[in-house]
Amino acid sequence: MKNVRFVLSLSLLLGMPFGVFAAEEMGMLFGGPGGGPRKAVDYAFQGTPASGGSPSIQEHSLRARFALVQNSTVTWAVYQQASLFDLNHPLTIPENGLSIPETMGSIETGATYLRILPGKRTLGITASIGSASDQLFYSRHELIANLTVTYRRPSGPRNAWITFLNYSNHREFLNNVPIPGIGYYWQTASRKWRVAAGFPFIVALLLPSPTTDARFMLFGPRRMGLEAGWRFKGQSRLYGGWEWGAQEWLLANRINTDNRLFFDRKRLQLGVQWPLIPQLSLDLSGGREFDRRFFENRSSKDNVPTLGLHPTWYGLLKVALRL
């Protein structure tokens, strides 16, 4: 079932929002046997105080994944994602007069099909549809859609070739363009080095010792993360890292329906994860956000009118349930 975990995790990484470093997806990508938990629910809350005239921000996100069928050859799973982004007062980009709403959100429903083929090859298909806007499902111009087809072919006892095709109208780059991808998964005999690299992604996991780890993720030109952790008292983990990414919404009644509103930011973070019970874990982190800016464009390019926000501290709470 390791091949199933690989394809599922890659599909999830292609649709991963900012603020989720995807430690579990990386664990599924590089992990041991099994197709992951049959039921998984994640909730996250982030609070960012006002700073230098910039508004305070509250963010909520909820993600649930349920395996309907999961055996040695086939997995059928469905998932649901929802998020809420709330400013304490509206904003305006001075250069173009664009009003940024106080409240924006998203909701997305998807399904994944995975099959083990002869020769330990794996085929995966993930599709989703939803809306991300200040007015959800206001019209067809606020709909978001994603489709990913992934194929994994073993190369020797430990390694594998990866190919995929991803379409999305909600991607930070090459929006509405089907992107073919190819890469190679490689690991050492000790499994201390594990890397999946290709176009347009790099995912790496380093395990120097049983209690330490380092992770790196890059997808496209403007989404990346670096994290290092230390385990103590069993499964508790102290970690620190850096992330760069963006959220995006399709504002209702926008003049150019190809444009999207982006909130681009970077962050430094320090946090701790610990299991409350075997099925339930808590993650508390905080740090500094900087280079925060709103802009409207087709993709996350520079040289467009922007509204910068002051750097500020933030706090983040995550709760994860696995059954």
261: Cβ contacts below 8 Å, ≥ 6 apart = 98, 100, 104, 248, 249, 250, 251, 294, 295, 296
Q: Give the mean model confidence (pLDDT) for residues 196-213.
A: 91
CA 2 to chain centre: 21
Confidence of residue 88 (pLDDT cuts 50, 70, 90): very high
Residue 207 sits in a domain whose CATH number is 2.40.160
CA separation for the pair 99, 239 (Å, rounded) = 37
User: Bridge-partner residues for 131, per DSSP?
Assistant: 107, 143
SS3 295: strand
Would you state the pLDDT for residue 77?
Answer: 92
Least confident of 9-13, 119-123, 152-156: 9-13
Least confident of 23-37, 135-149, 267-281, 288-302: 23-37
Q: Is the pLDDT of residue 31 over 70?
A: no
Would you state the pLDDT for residue 5?
Answer: 47
pLDDT tens digits, 205-252: 999 999 999 999 988 888 899 999 999 988 899 999 999 999 999 999
CA separation for the pair 149, 123 (Å, rounded) = 8
Enclosing H/E stretch for 209: strand 201-209
pTM flag (> 0.85):
yes
256: Cβ contacts below 8 Å, ≥ 6 apart = none
Q: Give the mean model confidence (pLDDT) for residues 262-291.
A: 96
258 or 299, which is more confident? 258
Q: Is the pLDDT of residue 184 over 70?
A: yes
Would you state the pLDDT for residue 231?
Answer: 95
Confidence of residue 270 (pLDDT cuts 50, 70, 90): very high
- For residue 155, give both structure tokens: 């190369």
Q: Give the mean model confidence (pLDDT) for residues 153-176.
A: 88
Compute CA distances 281 → 25, 35, 42, 229, 253, whole Å: 16, 19, 10, 16, 41
Q: Is the pLDDT of residue 3 over 80?
A: no
Q: Is the pLDDT of residue 6 over 80?
A: no
Q: Give the mean model confidence (pLDDT) for residues 3-8.
A: 46
Would you state the pLDDT for residue 300?
Answer: 64
For 97, phi and psi rounded to 5 degrees? Answer: 75, 15
Domain that holds residue 105: 2-322
Would you state the pLDDT for residue 36?
Answer: 58
Q: How many domains does the chain have?
A: 1
Q: Is the pLDDT of residue 39 over 60?
A: yes
Q: Give the mean model confidence (pLDDT) for residues 132-138.
A: 97
Judge contact between 289 and 263, C-beta under 8 A. Answer: no
